[in-house]
Structure 1
């Protein structure tokens, strides 16, 4: 009976502690299973399980282990947030598996992804013909993001003019130019974009590099800039 009560107390304590830890680590760990998120979730689950049910192990040792590992996971998450280079190593990076309607077999091999699995992922997005796909990207959380070819996309009000004789804009893959206030030189080199061109675009908008949080050249070729200062008086902030 005494052991049963001890298990109840330890289980209740383990639940409260893991809830606090999850709250500290944030929603990203729950919604996006990157490499370090996966390791953290598995390890924290194992430690919490032992804390709840394994009465042979000292609960103070388990608690110390849980808090230490939670601290490590929090530090890794913080580093990933502040450093893009660290984030690429700790979390991985999205991988293009279909480009301009062509399957990139080498990338599939690197990901250990079979064509059967790729087709399954596409079918789950109601795509049964791979010829409909212009771009497909395997995201950090293991999910597949797909951009269909223009002729297979749903028609929106903004798309109607193109069917009235106007020239159709060519769709390209979005290019991230600035992230966390730093130019993404790798993307610039791959897409033959010069720093001077970006600097000129910043001058046109009367912006400096340090003011820009994120800049991307979209699928329609247009530039999008997101600033650190959003100038929103009452931003929505809901947990």
Structure 2
């Protein structure tokens, strides 16, 4: 076997082997690696490179070495799932660095972090004062989890006792100028609706790079021509205007009738409609 053939065969063989080991390891290999997995990855890559370019070596020995390291990595993940003590020993535990706005210096020294490094991690979380932090925990993978004090946390709909509709995933119905019929059906829309929406926006299908339908049934598009200004549809504001008009009409009808019973009915319904408008106004103004 000449040198070129050796390199080609070795590269293909190791590519298949590494791909198989990565698939066995799962998606975790592609997202965040533990310290042990990081070392294993470097070692496996070094072995592969050495055997591929080592023309006098036996590449089957390299495959065996990679399989051994891959087996260790798989065993590490398997034992980590089965035993918390095993995870704590090999991956470590989370460490509290800030509590009640105060830095825990002993824990900081234990993790070999300086105050500058801590401040840098906090700034990455958009936190610039340690006094604003209720808890800051250094995770085993090196990430810093930060919980702000209650008075500094942003308000949510739950804090305001507002009932909001659940947000669903958007459906991509147009891609590269082509309609994705399955996604369009999943969004509860049809081709006629899509053609009408595109006409309202003043664009043609072949000029649309991507189109998505959100959970409210609104179509948003991105065109190939970045200079093209897409008019913003206003169905929610139009609905709000119609509701305000109906509420004003009810009050006008109440003023125009002589019957006290009818007047009371109009005023009662106008008041109910006004309350409904106040509740949904923040969502219709978006």
Note whether the superposition's TM-score is higher than 0.5. Answer: yes
Compare CA radii of gyration and give the structure with the larger one. 2
More helix, by proportion: 2
Deviation at 1:2, TM superposition (A): 3.3
* Counterpart position of 2:43: 43
Q: Which runs of 5+ in 1 are unaligned?
A: 162-239
Matches within 5 A, 1:87-126: 87-126=87-126
Q: Which runs of 5+ in 2 are unaligned?
A: 162-286
Deviation at 1:159, TM superposition (A): 1.5
Q: Distance in 1 between matches of 2:150 and 2:21?
A: 45
* Counterpart position of 1:130: 130
* Counterpart position of 1:173: none
Q: Distance in 1 between matches of 2:30 and 2:142?
A: 14
Higher relative contact order structure (alpha carbons within 8 Å, sequence separation ≥ 6): 1
Q: Distance in 1 between matches of 2:53 and 2:132?
A: 51
Deviation at 1:50, TM superposition (A): 1.8
Deviating beyond 4 angstroms after TM superposition, the runs of 4 or more aligned structure 1 residues are none
Aligned partners of 1:136 and 1:147 also within 8 Å: yes
CA-to-aligned-CA distance 1:47-88 (integer Å, 9 cap, x gap)? 222233232322011111111111121112111110111111
> How many matched pairs?
161
Aligned partners of 1:11 and 1:53 also within 8 Å: no
**Matching of residue 63 in structure 1 with residue 39 in structure 2:** no
CA-to-aligned-CA distance 1:154-187 (integer Å, 9 cap, x gap)? 11011226xxxxxxxxxxxxxxxxxxxxxxxxxx
* Counterpart position of 1:154: 154
TM-score, structure 1 length as denominator? 0.63
Q: Distance in 1 between matches of 2:137 and 2:56?
A: 47
Q: Distance in 2 between matches of 1:39 and 1:140?
A: 15
